[in-house]
Chain A
């Protein structure tokens, strides 16, 4: 079973909130110094899903990541988890693409890779959180898409996918190839172990440019974007603290309940 996983390198979501800075003028995030970017958490779970399928059915996992050349680090991370091969898609014209542009670039790279039974993406990126790329990519490749998967099984020639819905989950079947976006409920990604960790470190990750994958300039760039960022701000959150007291603990609890009742 051949799987392609699309992953994104993002600003470490674990940095302390106070350290998160933006440039409102340029509408850009300013990365804090000395914090290496990491793989988007949902994409890491997509890689985990691919590894679990590979554990069961063998096959090959190919990982692609669009971004700067530093994205090689996250591709190496996925190789240490169990992926076989990976490519970085990097080109000046790929900078600041919206979801449509990103999906277009990924689609071109996937066409270059060729054969696949399954494409996996994270449910959304951990930075912008738009959650669009997976569905648009499926549309471009003209294959079925199932979003928010929490379990994926290969049964005969089909995929059986457990999908998260508001009040539980539903089970869907899809043919191969399909695109599935993976949600956190699939479980913790594995800790890269064994010698894969050492091997991945030494692996050369090829970089594909727009020319390599045949991406046309007419689909890229700001002018061809479907969406535009009009403003970028850090939400301000006001916290007020009030200590609810009472002569005895039980009376304090009653006061707290009354206060909560008042607020609701």
Chain B
């Protein structure tokens, strides 16, 4: 007899079943509705484009658990545990709907019970249950014994683990006691049957065993309902929100910054908020991010700011914003409905996220890369900076100096930092200058650092010589080139970026430029991914892509032997932001005798040099480790004689790191183009 069809103290089991269900489901839906309304406090944003592709992406990431498995490394296997838990529990979720909801609750019990389907499915469940228990025990050992850096001890995690473990234990009890009580002698489901054989041998009466099975069944049922009520009220909300978050992830570049709308420019001063200063300034997708966070801490242990002792932890930023939303949100909703909104308890900038945290970010994107649920941390940080810079005029002095130079001089390096003028590097070169020879459609965009900083100019000259040797027809802007706007944008000075972007696009168009070669990955990312939003659609290539192509076409021959051990440092804005990491390696592998040894953090999981996001100019927090020191140690571990990179910032940071580490004799830093030139047959 099914537990539900029995009568308890005169009350039919069905009544108890459905009353409990309605209460729990009501609480579940009520909470979801509140969360939905809180999410709607956010600004509009269109993430409903290409919906078919979105759904495919999501299914591909979630069902095979690629979202978790992608970040499994030798040191962090826990993604496998999560996958076991996810797959195992998914079988149970289906069983709850089919066996409990339909079979027991709707009285279809007799049709299903004893069917082959039931035997097969419950056998699968037994195996799934074993895997879930393994995963839970593994998780418990990790959390409470091994205690990896990225996890915080939390009560919620403990509650969930006990709940899941109990569900599995009760599942086996229902089967075991049930089978033993009914006297069935069967081999399937395997665990339940084995447990039943053990119980039959203990000498308890069949009725006692059956009664225990019923008791376990009701406890099990209550626990499932409790689980449903608890999930949206705990950090395990991610079980519901993360798949949705993956559905709405950016389909193009990972960091999506929207232009400030024209209406905002024409609105009266003070009536528009620039950037983000209140929770409602974030978009609904930003708020969904907060729900999706499982506090797994992968971002925490991959963030260069955090690892170098700064106060920023991406995990804490997201977690604190979520707490803030849940705390301040209901008041805002009540305020919206009628009465004026109550006193704002906490300032989002300052109390929830501190200015130090906001300025410590190098925008390297490591947090987003490892995040299993596609949370967009970097955009939020940049938008918080926008508010500090555009609305509050608050920023570190070093940031202000850089931005001032950007505004008055059109480049971030002006002043005592440079001994050169913009066009100086062209002096000893025979080059086509745009405007003087207009029949060229390819522009070599040098970038501020490559044109002004002594060490980087060497790489620029090297690239120019290589391109000429390969017969590439290109022109440069010379002293008419300004900044692409990247440092201004990352530091929150959005208007200055917009001005520079518009001016540059106009120049490109007026000279009928079709293709742009860049040497700096930051310029590359900005012109390629961000200018299109301002009307500038050009074919943009990074020089590493171009050189790899020229070698393939045999327009460049690398014939000189370079018998050295190299390691390649991937610039974040090239590898992580734009997935250009095969070409540089292909080039190095084409050099006779050159050997390449990888660092553990490489390609899209590379580690920042410390110079991104305006940090070439913004000083690192006092009393913390310098990020480039961490990276240089990783370089040294490989035993390489030369660390090669393809970004002017990285080159400077690596050289500085080598200098400070005092390993100048055994290690040097070079731009990839310098290595290429050395490997070329001299004419």
Residues of A near any B CB (own CB < 8 A): 12, 14-16, 18-19, 32-36, 38-39, 77, 188, 190-199, 201
B546 to chain A, nearest CB (A): 26
A198 touches B265 (CB 8 A): yes
Report Cα–Cα, A193/B390, bound state, in Å: 5
B404 touches A191 (CB 8 A): yes
Residues of B near any A CB (own CB < 8 A): 264-265, 267, 269, 272, 274, 389-391, 393, 395, 397, 400, 403-405, 407-410, 414-416, 418-423, 478-480, 493, 495-496, 498-499
From B390, B405, B419, give the contact of A18 (CB < 8 A). Answer: B419
B414 touches A194 (CB 8 A): no
**A18 and chain B: residue at smallest CB distance:** B419
Report Cα–Cα, A193/B392, bound state, in Å: 9
A239 to chain B, nearest CB (A): 16
DSSP class of B's interface residues: helix, strand, loop or mixed? Answer: helix
* Contact A39-B265, Cβ < 8 Å, known A15-B421, A34-B479: no
7 nearest CB pairs, A to B? A34-B479, A14-B415, A197-B495, A16-B419, A193-B390, A34-B422, A14-B414
Q: Which residues on the A side are within 8 Å of B493 (C-beta)? A: 191, 193
Q: Which residues on the B side are within 8 Å of A201 (C-beta)? A: 499
B495 touches A34 (CB 8 A): no
**A201 and chain B: residue at smallest CB distance:** B499
**B406 and chain A: residue at smallest CB distance:** A191
Q: Which residues on the A side are within 8 Å of B393 (C-beta)? A: 190-191, 193
B274 touches A34 (CB 8 A): no
A198 touches B389 (CB 8 A): no
8 A-B pairs whose Cβ atoms sit less than 8 Å apart in the complex: A14-B416, A36-B409, A36-B410, A38-B408, A190-B393, A191-B404, A191-B407, A194-B269
- With A38-B408, A191-B400, A193-B391 known, 8 other A-B pairs at CB within 8 A are A12-B409, A16-B419, A18-B419, A19-B421, A36-B409, A193-B493, A194-B495, A198-B495
* Contact A194-B409, Cβ < 8 Å, known A14-B416, A32-B421: no
**A32 and chain B: residue at smallest CB distance:** B421
Q: Which residues on the B side are within 8 Å of A188 (C-beta)? A: 397, 400
* Contact A193-B389, Cβ < 8 Å, known A14-B414, A34-B479: yes
Q: Which residues on the A side are within 8 Å of B265 (C-beta)? A: 195, 198-199
B391 touches A192 (CB 8 A): no
Report Cα–Cα, A37/B272, bound state, in Å: 33
Report Cα–Cα, A79/B407, bound state, in Å: 13
Report Cα–Cα, A77/B420, bound state, in Å: 25
Report Cα–Cα, A194/B275, bound state, in Å: 10
A82 to chain B, nearest CB (A): 10
**B413 and chain A: residue at smallest CB distance:** A14
B257 to chain A, nearest CB (A): 17
A198 touches B499 (CB 8 A): yes
Q: Which residues on the A side are within 8 Å of B498 (C-beta)? A: 198
A86 to chain B, nearest CB (A): 16
Q: Which residues on the B side are within 8 Å of A36 (C-beta)? A: 408-410
Report Cα–Cα, A24/B395, bound state, in Å: 44
A72 to chain B, nearest CB (A): 14
Q: Which residues on the A side are within 8 Å of B272 (C-beta)? A: 195
Residue from A191, A192, A199, A201 having most chain B Cβ neighbours under 10 A: A191
Report Cα–Cα, A188/B420, bound state, in Å: 26
From B400, B408, B410, B480, give the contact of A77 (CB < 8 A). Answer: B408
Report Cα–Cα, A196/B493, bound state, in Å: 13
From B274, B403, B408, B414, give the contact of A39 (CB < 8 A). Answer: B408
From A14, A15, A77, A197, give the contact of B496 (CB < 8 A). Answer: A197
Report Cα–Cα, A162/B415, bound state, in Å: 30
B478 to chain A, nearest CB (A): 7
From B405, B408, B420, give the contact of A16 (CB < 8 A). Answer: B420
Q: Which residues on the A side are within 8 Å of B495 (C-beta)? A: 193-195, 197-198
B269 touches A192 (CB 8 A): no
Report Cα–Cα, A19/B423, bound state, in Å: 12
* Contact A34-B407, Cβ < 8 Å, known A198-B265, A198-B499: no
A34 touches B423 (CB 8 A): yes
From A18, A33, A77, A191, give the contact of B389 (CB < 8 A). Answer: A191
From A12, A33, A196, A198, give the contact of B414 (CB < 8 A). Answer: A12
Q: Which residues on the B side are within 8 Å of A18 (C-beta)? A: 419
Q: Which residues on the B side are within 8 Å of A19 (C-beta)? A: 421
B431 to chain A, nearest CB (A): 15
Q: Which residues on the B side are within 8 Å of A32 (C-beta)? A: 421
**A202 and chain B: residue at smallest CB distance:** B265
**B390 and chain A: residue at smallest CB distance:** A193
A248 to chain B, nearest CB (A): 21
* Contact A16-B418, Cβ < 8 Å, known A34-B480, A194-B274: yes
B375 to chain A, nearest CB (A): 29
Q: Which residues on the B side are within 8 Å of A38 (C-beta)? A: 408-409
**B274 and chain A: residue at smallest CB distance:** A194
A197 touches B499 (CB 8 A): yes
Q: Which residues on the B side are within 8 Å of A12 (C-beta)? A: 409, 414
Q: Which residues on the A side are within 8 Å of B480 (C-beta)? A: 34
Q: Which residues on the A side are within 8 Å of B416 (C-beta)? A: 14
A33 touches B269 (CB 8 A): no
Report Cα–Cα, A98/B420, bound state, in Å: 32
Q: Which residues on the B side are within 8 Å of A193 (C-beta)? A: 389-391, 393, 493, 495
A92 to chain B, nearest CB (A): 28
* Contact A195-B269, Cβ < 8 Å, known A18-B419, A19-B421, A188-B400: yes
**A12 and chain B: residue at smallest CB distance:** B409
Q: Which residues on the A side are within 8 Å of B389 (C-beta)? A: 191, 193
Residue from A188, A190, A192, A201 having most chain B Cβ neighbours under 10 A: A192
A160 to chain B, nearest CB (A): 25
Report Cα–Cα, A77/B499, bound state, in Å: 13
Report Cα–Cα, A9/B395, bound state, in Å: 27
Report Cα–Cα, A195/B271, bound state, in Å: 11
Report Cα–Cα, A198/B500, bound state, in Å: 11
A192 touches B407 (CB 8 A): yes
